[in-house]
Structure 1
Amino acid sequence: MNFLSVITYSGIFIFALTGAFKARTYRMDIFGATVLAFVTAYGGGTLRDLLIGIRPVNWVNDNIALVLVLSSTTITFLFKLDYRKFRRTILITDALGLGLFTVAGIEKSLLSGINEFYAVAMGVITATFGGLLADILCNSVPNLLKRGELYATACAIGGIVYVALKHTSLTNNINLLICIALIALIRFVSKWKRVTLPEI
């Protein structure tokens, strides 16, 4: 298992955990929570694979990823983890998940022959569209579209920096870590300092 696989699986577990937390907030049963965890973890990557023509899509025949999703749901329900008590934890896991999935999406796109500009776009889609689909299923306004949320913007900035650093002498693993840390930092600062994009 290479470093990119570790990053991908870490992102899957973190986003699945975020989806399971969200399901608990909406008082879903364990089946509903599993669906929401799955959508949160795989929605963006599935859309990316469909757009760039990867067949089968990333989660088909991946037993490790399926176990991670089921584990996140089980942990949330066995320990009765409450979204309201863990908001700060969820912000941290979500920010790290954004970074992990942005990097994974960019790398998988580049390996499929997509140019760097569109690879960054695919990284943003990978990181954000699972959460968007989960929010839609919960009948709530997606974080991606909320005012005051530097969500996709954080992914785009981190992705651009990541692609730019690929042309330097830095090792790829260091570059990956820089991108993840940068996206998480932008997300934290935007929440803490209430940094927003201009209104239309």
Structure 2
Amino acid sequence: MDNLHIIGYLGVFVFAVIGVLKARTKRFDIFGAAVLAFVTAYGGGTIRDLLIGIKPVNWVNDNLAVFIVLLSTVITFFFKLNNTIIRKLIFWIDAFGIGLFTIVGIQTALKADVSQGYSLIMGIITATFGGLISDVLCNKVPNLLKPGELYATACIVGGSLYLLMINYHINTTTSMIVGILVTVVVRIFSIRRKLQLPRI
């Protein structure tokens, strides 16, 4: 298992946990929580694979992927937390998750011979569309569309830096780690400093 697979599975676990935490705020049962966990973890990657023609999509025939989602569902389901703590956890875990999935999405697209510009877009889709779909299922405005949320912007900054580093032939693992951390820092910093893009 290479570094990309390790980062990918870590991202799956992180986003599956977010899905279960979202389900808890809506008082879903454990089946509903598992469905939301799967959608959050694999929604973005599935859309990416369909757009760039990867067959079958990333989670088909991957028993470990399903196991990780179910494990994260069971573990998270039995932790009893109040809604304030859950909201904070969702924010911190989500910031880390978009960093992981931005890099996974970019690298997956590059391996499929997609140009660097469109690979960056695929990274953004991988990182954000699972959360978007799960928010819609929970009848919430997705973070991706909320004003004052530098969500996709954080992915663009971290993903662009990652592409720049690999263009300069910097070690792949180092480039991945830096790209992930920069995405996370931009996301957290933007919320702490209340940074936002201009409104229409």
Fold match by TM threshold 0.5:
yes
AA in 2 matched with 1:31? F
Per the alignment, residue 164 of structure 2 pairs with: 164
Q: Report matched runs for 1:1-200 at 5 Å.
A: 1-200=1-200
Task: Classify the secondary structure of the residue corresponding to 2:34.
Answer: helix
Equivalent-residue separation in structure 1 for 2:82 and 2:123 (angstroms): 30
Q: Deviations over 1:17-68 (max 9, x none)?
A: 0010000000000111001000000000000000000000000011111111
AA in 2 matched with 1:66? V
Contact 1:11–1:101 (CA under 8 A) maintained in structure 2: yes
TM-superposed CA distance for 1:142, in Å, is 0.5
Equivalent-residue separation in structure 2 for 1:134 and 1:195 (angstroms): 25
Contact 1:30–1:77 (CA under 8 A) maintained in structure 2: yes
Judge which range, 159-168 or 44-53, deviates more: 159-168
AA in 1 matched with 2:125? I
TM-score normalised by L of structure 2: 0.97
**Cα-Cα RMSD:** 1.0
Equivalent-residue separation in structure 1 for 2:83 and 2:21 (angstroms): 5
Q: Deviations over 1:52-98 (max 9, x none)?
A: 00000000011111111111111121222444223333222111100
TM-score normalised by L of structure 1: 0.97
Equivalent-residue separation in structure 2 for 1:63 and 1:80 (angstroms): 28
Identity rate, percent: 54
Task: Classify the secondary structure of the residue corresponding to 2:167.
Answer: coil
Equivalent-residue separation in structure 1 for 2:80 and 2:184 (angstroms): 27
Equivalent-residue separation in structure 1 for 2:154 and 2:137 (angstroms): 24
AA in 2 matched with 1:97? G
Q: Deviations over 1:148-182 (max 9, x none)?
A: 10001110111111111111242000000000000
Shift in alpha-carbon separation, 1:53–1:33, aligned structure 2, 3 A: same
AA in 2 matched with 1:131? G
Equivalent-residue separation in structure 2 for 1:82 and 1:15 (angstroms): 19
**How many residues in Structure 1 have an aligned counterpart in Structure 2?**
200
Equivalent-residue separation in structure 1 for 2:36 and 2:82 (angstroms): 16
Contact 1:24–1:82 (CA under 8 A) maintained in structure 2: no
Equivalent-residue separation in structure 2 for 1:135 and 1:90 (angstroms): 12
Unaligned runs of 5+ in 1: none
Task: Classify the secondary structure of the residue corresponding to 1:127.
Answer: helix
Unaligned runs of 5+ in 2: none
